[in-house]
Structure formats: C-alpha cells, structure tokens
C-alpha cells in the first residue's frame, strides 16, 4: 500500500474531487446526482440547477417536479429530486442549515449512503480515515489484491486497515483518476500503469 500510495501521488499530484461545487451542500447534492451517472454529466447540469436554487432555503421550498426538469439527464431523476428537496428540508430543520460532520448524522439524511458520507467527511471536513468506495475503488482494490469481494462495507473496512488515515481521502480520488485513465473495467492498460510492479492483476500473483 505504501508503494501504491507513493506512486499514485507522483502520477496524480492533484487529488481533487471531479465534481464542481462551492457550498458544502452543493457537493452533497452533486454526489446524489452522480449515482449511476458520470461526474462530467453532473457538472454540465449543476450550474443551472444551483443558479435556479441559489440557497438551501430555495431547495427546501422547491417543487420536486421543477427540480426534476433540471436533473432529468442524470437519470433516476424522480428519486434524486425527491431526495435533494427532502435533504435540504432536513438540513434546515435539524442542522441549522449546515451539513453535519459525523457519519451517523450524514447517514440519517435522505439519499445519503456510506459512499456519500465518506466523501463529505473527507472533502469538506478533511476527516482522517474517510474511504470512498465507488465503482473504481471496488474494481481496483480487487485487481491490486487488497480484497476479494465486491461488498462496499467490507472493502471500506479493509482499505481503512492499510491506508494511512491522513491520506485515505486523497487516495480514493486518485483511484478514480487512475481507474479512468489507465485501469478501466475493460482492457486495462497495464503496460502504462505506475503500480503494475505491485499489482496482483498485472503481475499474476
């Protein structure tokens, strides 16, 4: 893990979330929109959405059907719009309009699972030990040899055991970048991989 972390840091020095956001709740909502959708697509529609609903209060008061029109191209727009409006209402009613900073409070928000909660904890609160298990993380953690499971909670726990806590959030962002650029689901480019010498998939060990 130390070698992989070091090599990925060299390969991807900027380990930022690829979703565009300004306010904390904008990241929360964008992550919800990104479910079964690309970050690129979310970044295309989010500016108009956040311009139409510029405050948390405006989201809380929004007509779900109108929100659906702005996010239609992201897929699953009925449930996503409903969750976003309900989440805004919950943030105002229970958290003073602030995104909470604990796993338990985040998981209690509409539409928020462990992946989203860990992303918020890592990117907004810079909490050590935040491990975001998305499709790239699932694929690469298995290929590299850290796990033999597709179960996100098990992968999260396994990675948390071996990752330096202060590097875990950035590592997960770099895994996404590496998964897109070098290690896609089909035809991984092992010859161009910076960690091929310690990857179980590439070495066959």
Q: Write down the catalytic residue from 115, 123, 167, 170.
A: 115
Q: Are 7 and 86 within one domain? A: no
DSSP state of 101: -
Angle subtended at Cα 144 by Cα 140 and Cα 147, rounded to the nearest 5 degrees: 85
Q: Are 110 and 87 in contact (CB under 8 A)?
A: yes
pTM of the shown model: 0.94
Please tell me the total count of domains within the chain. 2
Kindly report, residue by residue over 116-149, the tens digit of the pLDDT: 999 999 999 999 999 999 999 999 999 999 999 9
pLDDT of 205: 76
Whether 115 sits among the annotated catalytic residues: the reply is: yes
Neighbour count for residue 129 (Cβ, 10 Å) = 17
Q: Are 37 and 101 within one domain? A: yes
Domain that holds residue 83: 24-123
What are the 10-residue block averages of pLDDT along the chain, 205 residues in total?
Answer: 97 93 97 95 98 98 98 97 98 98 98 97 97 97 97 97 96 96 96 97 89
Q: How many angstroms separate the CA atoms of 32 and 82, rounded?
A: 11
pLDDT of 16: 86
User: What CATH number does residue 109 fall under?
Assistant: 1.10.340.30
* Cα-based torsion angle of the residue sequence 19, 149, 146, 118 in order, rounded to the nearest 10 degrees: 30
Q: Are 6 and 31 within one domain? A: no
Q: Are 53 and 103 within one domain? A: yes
* CB neighbour list of residue 48: distance below 8 Å, 6 or more residues apart: 70
The closest alpha carbon to 26, from 1, 44, 5, 47, belongs to: 47
Q: Write down the catalytic residue from 24, 83, 123, 134.
A: 134
Whether 134 sits among the annotated catalytic residues: the reply is: yes
Q: Are 110 and 199 within one domain? A: no
């Amino acid at each position: 893990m130390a070698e992989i972390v070091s090599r990925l840091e060299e390969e991807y020095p900027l380990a930022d979330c690829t979703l565009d956001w300004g306010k904390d709740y904008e990241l929360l909502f964008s992550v919800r929109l990104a479910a079964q959708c690309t970050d690129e697509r979310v970044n295309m529609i989010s500016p108009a959405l956040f311009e139409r609903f510029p405050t948390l209060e405006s989201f809380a008061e929004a007509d779900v059907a109108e929100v659906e029109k702005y996010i239609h191209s992201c897929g699953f727009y009925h449930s996503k719009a409903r969750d976003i409006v309900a989440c805004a209402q919950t943030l105002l009613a229970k958290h003073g309009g602030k995104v909470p900073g604990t796993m338990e409070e985040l998981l209690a928000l509409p539409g928020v699972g462990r992946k989203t909660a860990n992303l918020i904890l890592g990117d907004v609160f810079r909490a050590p030990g935040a491990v975001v298990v998305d499709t790239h993380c699932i694929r690469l953690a298995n290929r590299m040899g850290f796990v033999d499971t597709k179960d996100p909670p098990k992968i999260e726990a396994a990675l948390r055991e071996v990752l330096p806590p202060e590097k875990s959030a950035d590592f997960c962002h770099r895994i996404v970048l590496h998964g897109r650029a070098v290690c896609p689901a089909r035809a991984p480019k092992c010859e161009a991989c910076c960690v091929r010498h310690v990857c179980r998939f590439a070495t066959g060990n």
